[in-house]
Amino acid sequence: MIGPASQRPTATRAGGLVEERFPITAHSPGERPPPVDESRVRAMRLVTRERLTSRGLTCVADDATLVVSELITNAIVHSGGRQIRLTLDVRDGVLRIRVHDGVPGPRPTAQCPEDDAENGRGLVLVQEIARSRQGAWGVSDDGATTWCELSLVAC
C-alpha cells in the first residue's frame, strides 16, 4: 500500500517515458525511513518495468529497474528531502534515468564496502550496470540529482 491519495505518486508524460513525483517523510539522512517511504521503491520499480516493456524496451528493463531501485533508495535514505522525482526518457539511443531529491549536498561516490557490510553497494551496482551498457552515471554539481544513462544499442 502506497498511502492515502494525497501521498500517492503523481505521473506525467514530460516528453519521455515517465516523470513520477512523490512525497517522503522527513527524517535525518541515514536514518531508516518509515515503511510507507520504503514501499515507494517497489512502486517505482514496477512503474519503470511497465513503461519500458510497454515501449518495447524489455531488453533494458532488468538493468533499468535495478538502477531505479538503487537511486530511489539512496535519495529516500540519504537526502533528508521531502519529495523525490524520477524521470525516464529515451533520446539518441540512450535511456536516461534521473532521480532528483531537491536537496543540494555532498556528491555521493561509488565505494566498495567491506565484505561483511550490510549496505553500501548501490552506487557500485549502478556504476557497473552503466559500464556494461556502454553508459555512464553521475551526480549533478549541486548533489541534488543522480543520473544514469544506458545505451540501447544492444536492444
pLDDT in tens, 26-49: 888 778 888 999 999 999 999 999
Taking residues 9-14, what's their average pLDDT?
A: 43
**Number of domain units in the chain:** 1
Comparing 11-20, 99-108, 130-139, which segment has the lowest mean pLDDT?
Answer: 11-20
Mean pLDDT of the residues in the chain: 84
Confidence of residue 143 (pLDDT cuts 50, 70, 90): confident
Predicted pLDDT at 115: 52
Share of the chain above pLDDT 90, in %: 61
pLDDT in tens, 57-87: 999 999 999 999 999 999 998 888 899 999 9
Predicted pLDDT at 6: 40
pTM of the model: 0.82
CATH of the domain at 57: 3.30.565.10
* DSSP code of residue 105: -
Residue 63 belongs to domain spanning: 5-151
Predicted pLDDT at 9: 44
Predicted pLDDT at 112: 62
